[in-house]
Amino acid sequence: MQLPVRGIAVLALALVSPVALAKKEKKSKGEAPVALVGWQTQLGWPGSCYYPPDFQNLNNTDRLRAREQSLTEMMAQWNGGKNDGVSMDEEMVIEVETVLLGRPERVEEVVRENLEKCQGFMTGQVSEDAWESWVGGLRASLTVGECRQPLDYTMFDYLEIGAGWQRPLSICKDEKVRISGTVKDKYRISEKGPWINVEGDPAIPATGLELPCNVEGCFAGQLILKFEADSGWEKIYPVGHELIFEAPEHGTISYRINDESFFDNSWFKSKGLEDHTAIEVSPAQ
């Protein structure tokens, strides 16, 4: 008995279609693997790692949310919140978070690099110290060439005559600031020494002495300023009652009195009242 041509075609299709469909399904799965997103772990890992989404395939709103979520998850692990043996310095983590909050677009690259560090840690190829060292270096690497904070405000403080460098303040290249100290307030830098003010002791030029500021114009006990450039060098300047300082590059300023042994320093007292030198740092107009 012969089947009609149409019947033969239907029978042939029925015989080959399961194999053909299986091959097609297998190929489809190979072309579109499911991307890992969120907290993932693997056999043998002591914990899990956060896998970020593909930021470039997200719309603007979802991309912003994904950055925020990624930062939150990284902070949680760095702060020891995942119970996986990872717990980094809290202050350092806060500093890095602050930098990233001001540069949200940089979260994308950081979270991808962090995934590599986490995977290395989970497999024993990266130590916690190495991972923490990388995190600690993010602040510098993310802000290289930038000014951390312009000194566009006025800062009031009281001078400490028993301490070293005080109140580090960020300053940007070409900024001019005025630093001054009150001259009416007196102190001395040795038990039987003369009472002096921020101008220092004119009888003791600091040239050649073992003092922080020992160039021409520096005196013992004088108010002095240190500029630390972000590039690594530093220089110390005599201030006295006032100095207008222009930053040659991005950096940090701090101040102190020109002295090294603080144990015998004391403030002038009169009728029960003790002097305290007021310090003002402000933009120079």
Span between the terminal Cα atoms of the chain, in Å: 109
H helix or E strand, kind and range, residue 139? helix 138-142
Query: Over the stretch 158-216, which tens digit does the pLDDT of each residue have?
Result: 999 999 999 999 999 999 999 999 999 999 999 999 999 999 999 999 998 999 999 99
What is the model's pLDDT at position 32? Answer: 55
The model's pTM: 0.57
What is the model's pLDDT at position 6? Answer: 41
What is the model's pLDDT at position 31? Answer: 56
Q: Both tokens of residue 162?
A: 């028993």
Instruction: Show Cβ contacts of residue 241 under 8 Å, excluding neighbours closer than 6 positions.
Output: 180, 181, 182, 183, 197, 198, 199, 223
What is the model's pLDDT at position 33? Answer: 65
* 268: β partners: none
Helix, coil or strand: residue 132: helix
Query: Over the stretch 26-45, which tens digit does the pLDDT of each residue have?
Result: 444 555 567 899 999 999 99
What is the model's pLDDT at position 22? Answer: 34
The domain spans of the chain are 38-142, 155-283
Laid out side by side, the sheet with 155-158 consists of 155-158, 278-283, 176-181, 242-246
Instruction: Show Cβ contacts of residue 82 under 8 Å, excluding neighbours closer than 6 positions.
Output: 47, 48, 76
Low-confidence ranges of the chain (pLDDT < 50): 1-28
d(CA 258, CA 260): 7
**What CATH number has the domain spanning 155-283?**
2.60.120.430
Distances (CA, A) of 276 to 120, 161, 182: 55, 9, 9
